[in-house]
Amino acid sequence: MTTTVEGSTATAPAGVLSPRYRALSIGLVALVTLLAFEAMAVATAMPVVARELDGMPLYNLAFSATLAASVIATVLGGRWSDVRGPLQPIGAGVVAFVAGLLLAGFAPSMEVFVLGRFVQGLGTGLTQVSLYVLVARVFPGSLHPKVFALFSAAWVVPSMIGPAIAGFVVENTDWRWIFLGVTLIVIPSALLLWRGTSGRAIENGIAEPAPGLGRKLIWATLTAVAAALIQYGSALKLAGLPLLLVGIVLLAAGLPKLLLPGSLKAARGLPTAPVLRGLAFGSLTAAEVLIPLMLMSERGLTPTGAGVVLTIGALGWSTGSWIKGRGAISHMTAIRGGSAMIAVGIGLVTLVLIDSVPLAVAYVGMAIAGLGIGALHPTVSVLVLKLSKEGEEGQNSAAVGVGESVFTVVAVAVSGALFTAAGGSYVAGLAFTAALAVVAFLLAPRFVHASAAGTMEETAS
């Protein structure tokens, strides 16, 4: 790597907010925050957008298009970063993200709006995976936990205020400003990030061009379409069953080509990373889809009251990342303990279905689950960079990103299907999500105990 550690062996490394890294760190956080804000705010605005553009039939497609584009762009951005360095794909990602925002903000029809959302997904996928490679190339390994803790913190404020701001904008001005307004901030944030990279030897890539990249992008496209069909079909309930079946077939064909060799067999070391984080993140995300509905329908909470529960989970995520970033817990504790905390947290929230159980238990449960994912999520990122050979950080981070996205879509679809099939049983849906976290708990030793950089156990495919 080109990164050098300042000072002698007796000098502590510079912090992420030291003069050497301050502009870069602030630019990274600003960019991630804006990506997060857009993701959180759009869900609030979408019902109004669909009504005003007379596009309710395309409502779910507006979400699926972003997901599909992100999967494709993640694969492309990962290899692009390895071969050419991370700055080119970050620049392309920012341009695509802004272009998508403008298309969505000025959309005269729902079809154009969906196209804008697709372009946004391309920008998000390119940017996010390339930022991981940028971290690997610029920051010393000792600072990686702190950087990824900052990334986690960058999601907290959007999680807390994004929906509220979007609601205010929709009610008092025009939904279009949710998209157009973000463009006014993205460009300065990108320029600050660019300034923070000036003078650093990170432009040139390390890896050789991959001759099989074209085929991989084809598989990425099939996987993206599969994920979108599963997401879209699950929202249509029984009518969406054919879409679900087609999506499952395509997913079975494409996903193994995008993960690391041995991932679906949980081979020791890096191959386990995409599955482990996909299970953990998918578990909590799927639970968070059901929990607000459960609290409103079964315990009479208002939408605001139910939203507070999710906000507490977001605060727990930030706290867990902060604790891990300070080096207070080991990698094994963060990953295995984090998985266990997600399962326990979901279980505690489920208990409030019993009328005699205080609602406070739900708040405690979400705080525990948030702490768990907060410790686990950045730790996987840190270890992926640590275990990756030079020139493979991008493709390995891309595999983790694809695994996380796809496993989350499947987790949401299956938990929702179980909920519906069981006659609206929240226990059935939430028990499945908790079970996913338990599987992640069982897989953790296969990932954390990798003993050497670049460990990738070869298995027959």
The pLDDT value given to residue 46? 83
Q: Which CATH architecture has domain 261-451?
A: Up-down Bundle (1.20)
Cα–Cα dist 208/368, whole Å: 44
Residue 427: what pLDDT? Answer: 95
CB of 353 closer than 8 Å to CB of 293: no
Q: Which residues are CB-neighbours of 191 under 8 A, at least 6 positions away?
A: 27
Give counts: helices (H), strands (E), the chain: 15, 0
pLDDT in tens, 76-124: 999 898 888 888 899 999 999 999 999 999 999 999 999 999 999 999 9
The helix/strand/coil state of 64 is helix
Please list the residue range(s) of the chain that carry CATH number 1.20.1250.20: 15-210, 261-451
As a whole number of angstroms, the distance between CA 99 and CA 248 comes to: 32
> What pLDDT, on the 0 to 100 scale, is given for residue 1?
39
pTM above 0.85, yes or no: no
- Report CA 75 to chain centroid distance, whole Å: 14
- As a whole number, mean pLDDT of residues 6-14 equals 47
pLDDT, residue 352, reads: 94
CA 221 to chain centre: 19
- At residue 8, the pLDDT reads 38
Q: By percentage, how much of the chain surpasses pLDDT 70?
A: 91
DSSP 456: B
Q: What is the mean pLDDT of residues 324-341?
A: 92
- Using alpha carbons, list the distances in angstroms from residue 167 to 110, 194, 228, 290: 20, 32, 26, 21
Residue 204 — φ and ψ, nearest 5°? Answer: -75, 140
- Name the residue with tokens 């406070």: 360
- Report pLDDT for 198: 66
15-210 adopts what CATH topology? Growth Hormone; Chain: A; (1.20.1250)
- pLDDT tens per residue, range 389-430: 888 888 899 999 999 999 998 998 889 888 888 888 999 999
Per-residue pLDDT tens for 196-242? Answer: 776 555 555 555 555 567 888 899 999 999 988 888 777 777 777 88
Average pLDDT of the chain to the nearest whole number: 85
Q: What is the mean pLDDT of residues 298-305?
A: 83
Q: How high is the pLDDT of residue 403?
A: 93
pLDDT tens digits, 132-182 = 989 888 888 888 988 888 888 787 778 777 777 777 887 788 889 988 888
Looking at residue 449, its pLDDT comes to: 60
